[in-house]
Copies of this chain bind each other. A is one copy, B any other.
């Protein structure tokens, strides 16, 4: 039986395990546009066979249960996993079925996760997010922001384009903000995506920058497969779109890319 306690903000925390942790980082991937972060986080959990450490339920999650393809109903939850990843290093992965629907819920859940990460020796919190452009790019960039100049340099040196202002909304922003407020460092990597489709290509791109940053080698074959399937859909959409465009005015291509976390 997991140990259970209420931690404020309508959040119930259930501790499932207290793993022996060494040199850990925390990587967070949550549902959002393109499922960029969520796909990446799930990939890491699968790849390393990460074990559930904490489960959160939260009364500001959307009021619903999800139903799987076989009819099984499941309450919405957030989960923190842990896996040793070789060479004496460890990886916490935080993911969820949904983001809270209130500011309060987002702040409190972010803080709860950062607090437990800090207690377990985490020094840096990474969040994986989407950078929405509204168009399909052949070469998907990864954007980055960080809570310290030191990390900004590392992020830039490992292939991400630094953000030049704006904001990062939702828990992808708050998790690194809370990290900073608690004396940790935070990095957000944002994979360029159209925002129209589940985008495993963007997930793969952010994981490639992430794994350089944390010096970890991973297999991204499964994400590559999914990305190739998506690419086929994009190709079809684009050829349909090109046919349509021949008899219609050219759409503006200079629209300012907006960000949605």
**Residues of chain A having any CB pair with chain B under 8 Å:** 9-10, 57, 59-76, 101-104, 106-108, 144-149, 152, 155-156, 162-171, 173-174, 176-178, 180-181, 186, 188, 261
Complex CA gap A177/B63 in Å reads: 10
Q: How far is the CB of A147 from chain B (nearest CB, A)?
A: 5
Do A147 and B10 have beta carbons less than 8 Å apart?
Answer: no
Do A164 and B69 have beta carbons less than 8 Å apart?
Answer: yes
Do A149 and B63 have beta carbons less than 8 Å apart?
Answer: no
Do B180 and A63 have beta carbons less than 8 Å apart?
Answer: no
Residue of A61, A145, A169, A186 contacting most chain B CB atoms (<10 Å): A145
Which single member of B57, B156, B261 contacts A181 (CB below 8 Å)? B57
Complex CA gap A147/B176 in Å reads: 35
| This chain's copy number in the assembly | 4
Do A72 and B164 have beta carbons less than 8 Å apart?
Answer: no
- Given A57-B181, A103-B101, A176-B65, A145:B71 Cβ within 8 A: yes
Complex CA gap A2/B166 in Å reads: 28
- Given A10-B104, A101-B103, A188:B73 Cβ within 8 A: yes
Complex CA gap A63/B107 in Å reads: 7
Complex CA gap A14/B77 in Å reads: 30
Do B71 and A103 have beta carbons less than 8 Å apart?
Answer: no
Do A63 and B106 have beta carbons less than 8 Å apart?
Answer: yes
Do A66 and B167 have beta carbons less than 8 Å apart?
Answer: yes
Do A72 and B146 have beta carbons less than 8 Å apart?
Answer: yes
Which single member of B63, B144, B148, B261 contacts A171 (CB below 8 Å)? B63
- Given A74-B177, A145-B71, A169:B64 Cβ within 8 A: yes
Q: How far is the CB of A230 from chain B (nearest CB, A)?
A: 20
For the complex of A and B, the 9 pairs showing the least CB-CB separation, nearest first, are: A75-B177, A71-B162, A59-B107, A65-B173, A64-B169, A63-B106, A65-B177, A73-B145, A64-B173
